[in-house]
Structure 1
Amino acid sequence: MTDLSSTSRNKINMPLVGFGTYQLSTEEAESSVAEALRAGYRHIDSAEGYNNEKGTGNAIKKSGIAREEIFLTTKLFPGNTQWGVQEKTYDSTIATLKNQLKELQVDYVDLYLIHAPLASLRLEQWRALIELKKQGLTKHIGVSNYNEEAINEILEAGLEKPEINQIEFHPLCAQPELTQFLNKHSIASTAYSSLAPLSTWRTAEGQGGEVLAEKKQDAQSTIKEVASELNVSEAKLLLRWVLQNGYSVLTRSTNPQRIKENIDLFDFTIPQSQMQRLNDLNQNQAFAWAANGLNPMEAAPALK
């Protein structure tokens, strides 16, 4: 997919480049989302588990941008008994989004996701998402960190299929089999943590970027070489690689200049030969949750 522009959208009318709010404080979420909206982002990604939705809502409310011009995603944290967090039921899932709407200061979200298949009640939660869509509290519903098996549970139950799956996606975690499965079932894909291969990713104390750093070293020289040959930053290269693979992509920064740079991905194309060099780096190695000691795509408990 190389015929892309700043106005391109995916099959659920989501702008291809979104701004994420993970690991931001409430104050940082407000200032950074405000900066992102000024820079032209119209896709904002949030989550119950980020504990900063009040800040995101403040930024949206103060922006003066019409609500219908902003594609707003948020996520349900499903619960996880291994972490001592009670699993959400059908009713508590309904109540959770209603509370999130209050925090975000909006009447609806454009997309509501189950954050990961960590609960044995995930089909019950999915039925609740279907109901939330019927009620108009979300326009679209989907999942995040779901592998083929977890999505097949939904399909085999005869329920409405997810419209999107948000997963970690970059040259070291390209997940070609899952990508093929999603395409087969016309499920759109959004990438997060697409800058994970870089040495500059999540370097602040407590962010966990140092975990598994040794697995990135060989790839970093190739990424640097390709970026230099195309005269773009390594970050822009990786984000553009995601788009050319047919995914939408989330970026995140508190630096106003980087926020502006990360949405400017439509003035160059990665030639196929260079795409292949990046594709060849794949290890199917996940990094985003490694500091938490798990891969969420492999952590689904048995259904109740």
Structure 2
Amino acid sequence: MKISKSTCNKIGMPLMGFGTYQLSIKQAEFCVSEAIKAGFRHIDSAEGYENEEGTGRGIKKGLKETGVSRDDIFVTTKLFPGYKKWGSTEKDYNQTIETLKRQLKQLQLNYVDLYLIHAPLSELRIEQWKALIELKKQGLAKYIGVSNYNEDRIREILDKGLEKPEANQVEFHPICAQINLTKYMKENSIEPIAYSSLAPLSTWRVEKGQGGEVLAEKKEEGQLIIKEIAKKLDVSEAQLLLRWGLQHGYSVLTKSSKPTRIRENLRVFDFEIPKGDIERLDQLNQNQAIAWAASGINPMEFAPALE
């Protein structure tokens, strides 16, 4: 990777990533291309987003228009493991292998830099993890990890004597600060990645059907403090929350369909949140997950029992 090491974590992942959740195929193509042109070098995708065809076209277009090479960007995608209660078939070892191969065709890539199990929703998750280890051996994924895994779910892997996850992508923002999990990941050299960094804002997922209104009352007090600190530092509220994640050692993801906002959200390396303001933001923690609330589950707390 030729990306500056100062803005990457230990597996070479740029600390700022562009996410594609809730984008249509057409939007994904446009936004991913714009993100690469703006300077993003990490694109975050997933099977469950159902837009990887557009994401792949956007990557191809963005690389062509900027002259950036494939080796200069970091692409993450995720396996949807299946979930019985949603009528979604749980993937076995071979199906997991074939899923990434299918995703690579949609993304028009020969490999992804990071492949994650999206959540511990399946009783076959150990079998799926073994498949990820094989995908890494085959060179189809440079690094492998998990998402929405708590300490116990990570221990399931370690207790089997299997290769440990190299990253864990979790909901992380001042209202859901994952204090104990963050400490555990640091102790075990598992790279933390934050999603839904902007969940505390009133402007987060406001379009109909996106679920941003769920648990809105939990966010009201924090919004006043976030607004006050952002104004004092002369940055946007989004930039403040992204910077908060960075200063806690996380790689962070952001998403927008507006080119001006895409560029703005990338400007988080030219300021620092003072210690006192970091502490004020830290005090907003309620251990309250928000991102999946509209779906009726919290994947960090739920997992079917393994025999």
- Unaligned 5+ segments in structure 1 are none
Question: Partner residue of 2:99?
Answer: 96
Q: How many residues align?
A: 300
What aligned pairs does 1:217-232 form with structure 2 within 5 A after superposition? Answer: 217-232=220-235
Q: Which secondary structure state, in structure 1, belongs to the residue aligned with residue 132 of structure 2?
A: helix
CA contact (8 A) 1:6 1:266 kept: no
What aligned pairs does 1:63-212 form with structure 2 within 5 A after superposition? Answer: 63=62, 64=64, 65-212=68-215
CA shift, 1:59, in A, is 1.2
**Farther off after superposition, 69-78 or 57-66:** 57-66
Provide TM-score, normalisation by structure 2: 0.96
State the structure with bigger RCO (CA 8 A, min sep 6), 1 or 2.
1
Q: State the alpha-carbon separation in 2 of the partners of residues 73 and 138 from structure 1.
A: 9
Q: State the alpha-carbon separation in 1 of the partners of residues 6 and 42 from structure 2.
A: 12
Q: Which secondary structure state, in structure 2, belongs to the residue aligned with residue 298 of structure 1?
A: coil
Q: Which secondary structure state, in structure 2, belongs to the residue aligned with residue 170 of structure 1?
A: coil
The amino acid of 1:126's aligned partner reads: W
4+ residue runs over 2 A deviation:
none
The amino acid of 1:246's aligned partner reads: G
CA shift, 1:215, in A, is 0.5
The amino acid of 2:105's aligned partner reads: K
Provide TM-score, normalisation by structure 1: 0.97
Q: State the alpha-carbon separation in 1 of the partners of residues 260 and 5 from structure 2.
A: 18
CA shift, 1:8, in A, is 1.3
Question: Partner residue of 2:298?
Answer: 295
CA contact (8 A) 1:182 1:189 kept: yes
Question: Partner residue of 1:39?
Answer: 38
CA shift, 1:62, in A, is 2.0
CA contact (8 A) 2:5 2:12 kept: no
CA shift, 1:303, in A, is 1.6
CA deviations 1:172-228 (Å, max 9, x no partner) are 000100000000101000000000000000000000000000010011111111111
CA shift, 1:118, in A, is 0.2
CA contact (8 A) 1:170 1:238 kept: yes
CA shift, 1:230, in A, is 1.0
- Unaligned 5+ segments in structure 2 are none
Q: State the alpha-carbon separation in 2 of the partners of residues 285 and 128 from structure 1.
A: 32
Question: Partner residue of 1:48?
Answer: 47
CA shift, 1:6, in A, is 9.0
Q: State the alpha-carbon separation in 2 of the partners of residues 153 and 60 from structure 1.
A: 35
